[in-house]
Amino acid sequence: MKAIVDLPGTADCCWTATTPQTTYPALRKAAHTDVAIIGAGIVGLTAAYALCRAGVSVTVIEALRVGRQVTGRSSAKITSQHSLIYRHLRDTFDLDTARVYAEANRAGTTQIRTWIRELGIACDLEERDAYAYTCKESLLAEIEAEAAIARELGFKADVVARAPLPFETAGALRFAGEAQFNPAQYLVGLAAAFKAAGGSIFENTRVHDVKPGRRWRIMTERGRIDADSVVVATNLPVAGPGHYDLKTRPRGHIAMGFRVDSVAAVEGMFIGIDHPTHSIRTGRDDEGPLLIVLGPAFVTGQESDVAARFRQLDDWAHQNLPVQQGTWRWFNEDYDTRDRVPYVGEPEKKSKGLYIATGFNGWGISNGAAAGLLISDQIQGRSNPWTKLYNPRRRSPKKYNKGDDTHSLVGSIGEIPPGQGGVIERGKAKLAVYRAANGRVRALSASCTHAGCTVSWNNADLTWDCPCHGSVFSVTGQVIHGPATEPLPSRKLAKDKPKRRRKKRSRGRGN
């Protein structure tokens, strides 16, 4: 197998690599619209298309390209089975809350499949059973309890003695008739349908600020948009009140796509409930079938050796699955909430007309579609039974602590290997230094432009990641993921000066 760092990384994953690139224009002048939606992922485009079909004037603003960010790099399971979520919701809240969550996610999955069929979107949609499996007899009781609650909530749920996997399991919870797809292809198709219905899309247009007033004013690097309502659908909100960077925690995870002769040995979609957790599903790229394997989650920016995680995942896959060469590898990010329920809606009464959606806890396909539908209803003044469930004003059980930002510190540039980066101190300042393979050095401010935390080095994706709120920057300092909206500034770097040795004074008498 090729060295991990030689595999395709941040630019593409197997989904985006097999998806045609969109060519929507950048915003270049002032514009007006009823609703402005920031972010062309599943939340943004679901809300956009639903509103556009209802006759609302909608403009979507995307910082990069449609479908190539978080949604397009997800595991892409269209399922309401989110590990053992329903027992947790019943115990944390009550059975009615679990029921509403089930109904919202069923509606989200149904809407995705309906639009794929109605719009003729080619996105490798395949029906698959979804399994939550364990290799430990001691955890079977948890699976059985989840199955009982799921059946009470209307799911086709049962417990099987063995998951259909090529390694031994103690049992699994099965949801029959769920599905999987290529999420990037789906979003590109949905964007095309939205545009054909009269919507507007601007790509390569990063939003820097959203200002309240008689109408909301969305400020970008090239122009502005005035709107009655604005939807911030950017994984973590890049604007608006509510401090959701403190109410959520960035969840990083790695994924790999392996070449296989046949995917018959893995019939379904799988999430392990053991620790460390692994997720498995089939997929494909232009060269044939793949097995997609995800490793356990970690806090973005707080992992000192991301490359080691890829090596561990590669080892696990070769030990447990009929895989050959690792052909794809990528990093993706989501945000966790303490109660495992997303925040969707208006964050504050005083921010009337501004809507956010964040904290999908790794289950952003069904929840994201439900969030888009909910926001569409709220903008149109229609009642929706999921409003209380996703209420972004609900009390957070506890805020997350600031992350560790010290593990990338090095003493000098000479300690940074070629092709890698590290943080060095220059007086009171900290610099993010990348040393290219040819020895050329690039220095940036190491202070994240969102809230000033010191970024850390991701040695697999070759990015600067914020350990506090999950912003991700390229080696040149450009924003890959928010909540940051401004790049890391360049800094001049003086060469490390060798320490001078002080000459000893002679104590002898002179001649």
3-class secondary structure, 372: helix
CA atoms within 13 A on the CB side of 436: 8
- What pLDDT score was predicted for residue 495? 61
Reading the block at residue 372, the tokens are: 């888009």
SS (H, E, C) 465-497: ECCCCCCEECCCCCEEECCCCCCCCECCCCCCC
Domain positions in the chain are 413-481
How far is residue 243's CA from residue 160's CA, in Å, rounded to a whole number?
Answer: 43
- What pLDDT score was predicted for residue 129? 97
Looking only at the bridges linking them, the beta strands covering 31-38 and 224-232 are parallel
Which residues are CB-neighbours of 368 under 8 A, at least 6 positions away?
41, 42, 43, 46, 71, 108, 357, 360
**Max CA pair span of the chain:** 104
How far is residue 452's CA from residue 245's CA, in Å, rounded to a whole number?
Answer: 13
- What pLDDT score was predicted for residue 402? 67
Provide the residue type at 147 as one letter: A
Which residues are CB-neighbours of 140 under 8 A, at least 6 positions away?
134, 159, 170, 171
Q: Give the H or E element holding residue 441.
A: strand 441-445
Provide the whole-model pTM. Answer: 0.92
- What pLDDT score was predicted for residue 404? 65
Partnered with residue 409 across adjacent β-strands are 423
Judge whether 412 and 496 are in contact, CB under 8 Å.
yes
Looking only at the bridges linking them, the beta strands covering 429-435 and 420-426 are antiparallel
How far is residue 455's CA from residue 301's CA, in Å, rounded to a whole number?
Answer: 7
Residue 142: closest CA among 80, 83, 92, 77? 83
Taking the CA atoms of the chain, what radius of gyration do you get in angstroms? 24
- What pLDDT score was predicted for residue 507? 41
Provide the residue type at 81 as one letter: Q
**267-289 exposure pattern, b = at least 16 Cβ within 10 A, e = fewer:** ebbbbbbeeeebbbbbbbbeeeb
Reading the block at residue 3, the tokens are: 């060295």
Q: For the chain, 511 residues long, give each residue's pLDDT as a single digit of tens.
A: 334 444 434 457 999 999 999 999 999 999 999 999 999 999 999 999 999 999 999 999 999 999 999 999 999 999 999 999 999 999 999 999 999 999 999 999 999 999 999 999 999 999 999 999 999 999 999 999 999 999 999 999 999 999 999 999 999 999 999 999 999 999 999 999 999 999 999 999 999 999 998 999 999 988 999 999 999 999 999 888 778 888 999 999 999 999 998 777 788 999 999 999 999 999 999 999 999 999 999 999 899 899 999 999 999 999 999 999 899 999 999 999 999 999 999 998 888 999 999 999 999 999 999 999 999 999 999 999 999 999 999 987 777 766 666 778 888 888 999 999 999 998 888 999 999 998 899 999 999 999 899 999 999 999 999 999 999 999 999 999 889 999 999 998 876 555 455 554 444 433 3
Angle at 303 between CA 299 and CA 307, to 5 degrees: 125
Residue 32: closest CA among 233, 228, 239, 194? 228
- What pLDDT score was predicted for residue 504? 47
- What pLDDT score was predicted for residue 91? 95
Q: Taking the CB of residue 302, how many other CB atoms lie within 10 A of it? A: 18
Architecture of the domain defined by 413-481: 3-layer Sandwich (2.102)
**343-363 exposure pattern, b = at least 16 Cβ within 10 A, e = fewer:** bbbbbeeebebbbbbbbbbbb
How far is residue 120's CA from residue 113's CA, in Å, rounded to a whole number?
Answer: 10
